[in-house]
Structures are given as C-alpha cells and as structure tokens.
Amino acid sequence: MSTCRVISCSNMKGGTGKTTTVNSLAAHCARKGFRVAVIDLDPQSNLTIGFGVDPQDLKGSMYDVLAPQSIPIEQVMVEKEGLFLAPAHMDMVRLEMQLVSLYGRETILNKKLLAIKDNYDLIIIDCPPSLNIFTINALCASDYVIIPIQCSSYYALYGIAQLLESINWVQQELNPNLEVLGVALTMENRTRISGQIIEEVNRQFEKLVFKTVIRQNVKLSEAPAMGTSIFGYAASSQGADDYARLAEEVVKRAGL
C-alpha cells in the first residue's frame, strides 16, 4: 500500500495565497529530501508560471491528462527545484465542458495518480478558486485538504461555508477518507482587520488552524516573477521562514 500523501489546497475565493502556499510547501519539502510532485489544476496556470514554466511552450499539460483521449500524467511532468510539476494550460477552460457528460468524471485524476503514487512521498494539488470539475477531482483524489485564508480582508471568510459543504459532499459521496488537514492563515499585516480575522478563524476552526501565520512579505510576491519559489529567490526572507515553519506543521500532521 502506498504511503504517499495527496494534499489539495483549496479556497473558493481568489487571492488567498493558495498558489504561493502550494509552491512554497512543495519546494521546502523537496529541499528536505521528500519526493514531491505538484499538480496545477487552475487554467490560469499561476503555479506553472511560478515555477518558471511557460504554458505556451508545453508539449503536454493537465489538459492532456484529463481529456477524454488522455495520456499518463508522468508524460507531462517537468522537473523544477528538485520536484516534479504537472503543469496547467488555458485550454483546460474548454475541457470542463468536454467532461460534463463523461461518466466517472469526478474520479479521473484519482485514477491517474494511482499510477504514480509509489514514486512520491507527497503530492500537492493547486485547485482553481471555484467549485468546478477540477476542484472536485482534486478533492476526490486527496487524503487531505488545506484551506488558506487571507488575513488582510473582511472578505476572507466568504466562500468557506461553500467549500466546507463541498468537502462534506465529497466525503459522503465519493471520498470518505478526505480530511481537512488544516487552515492556513496568510497575508497577515498586523492591522486591526488581521487581528479580528485571526480571532474569528480560530473561533470557528479551533485546533484545525495551523500555528504558523504567514506574514505579508514582498519577497513572496516577487518570487513568482522570477520563476522560482521563495526558497530559490530569497531563502533568508521572512516569507521563507514562515513557509518553512508551516511546512513542518504540514509534514507532522500528515504523518510524513
């Protein structure tokens, strides 16, 4: 039986630090010697670009892996920073329509991952900021889900109820083993709003909230433009320190 852990990072709201969290957690774990793969399921391809891969130069992407005439996921993977990336492409926007009438469409990704789980200790999936067929596929294929919540906006908690309802539905209908690994607080900026949001999140989610809070840091915003993780761009920065500590919590909770 595979000991690989599959973790999705999901939030219905955009701008929560979801992609930065996937990029940073994966990069840190790879640097610590774990065998890591990351999967970009967002047609915007931000995770792909953040690892220095141009979606327009790809020979294959998750579009080809999930399409009705599909190919094995290992055929589209590219190596970056000691891990393997399954990139996204904007063509995935039209793929969703192609999958609407396909039987078993919710479990396509899970079947694809079964072929590669023995090769990895950790697979992290970056979900789109919406509840679509790609997000459902990610949740069906995952052992755990991480929910990032932005501390610097009152809108941060919007969409969380919908996500939790979706997780509950997937648990009941498709993947009874799915668990919420934790809630990650991101973009904390020492304002009154941040303090209020942190207090409310802790009240609602209690022990699910990771102890590490990701502070707002300009280096985290700059790293994707350089095509690398925060550890490849500014390893001694506050952002790198925060994500290193969060990664250690994730590894411990996931039993790696």
How many domains does the chain divide into?
1
Q: Report the distance separating Cα 108 and Cα 75, nearest Å.
A: 16
Tokens 């996500």, residue located: 163
Residue 85 belongs to domain with CATH number: 3.40.50.300
**Of the candidates 161, 41, 55, 159, the residue with the CA atom closest to the CA atom of residue 110:** 41
Q: Report the distance separating Cα 75 and Cα 198, nearest Å.
A: 42
pLDDT along the chain (256 residues), means of 10: 92 87 98 98 95 92 92 96 96 85 88 96 94 93 96 79 86 94 94 90 92 95 94 96 98 95
Q: Report the distance separating Cα 22 and Cα 128, nearest Å.
A: 12
Instruction: Write out the two tokens for 171.
Output: 């648990």
Question: Please, are residues 214 and 188 in contact by the beta-carbon 8 Å criterion?
Answer: yes
**Which range of residues forms the domain containing residue 209?**
5-253
Question: Please, are residues 254 and 7 in contact by the beta-carbon 8 Å criterion?
Answer: yes
Three-state DSSP string of the chain: CCCCEEEEECCCCCCCCHHHHHHHHHHHHHHCCCCEEEEECCCCCHHHHHCCCCHHHCCCCHHHHHCCCCCCHHHCCEEECCEEEECCCCCHHHHHHHHCCCCCHHHHHHHHHHCCHHHCCEEEEECCCCCCHHHHHHHHHCCEEEEEEECCCHHHHCCHHHHHHHHHHHHHHCCCCCEEEEEEEEEECCCHHHHHHHHHHHHHHHHHEEEEEEECCHHHHHHHHHCCCHHHHCCCCHHHHHHHHHHHHHHHHHCC
Half-sphere exposure of 46 (CA within 13 A, CB side): 19
> What is the per-residue pLDDT for 1?
66
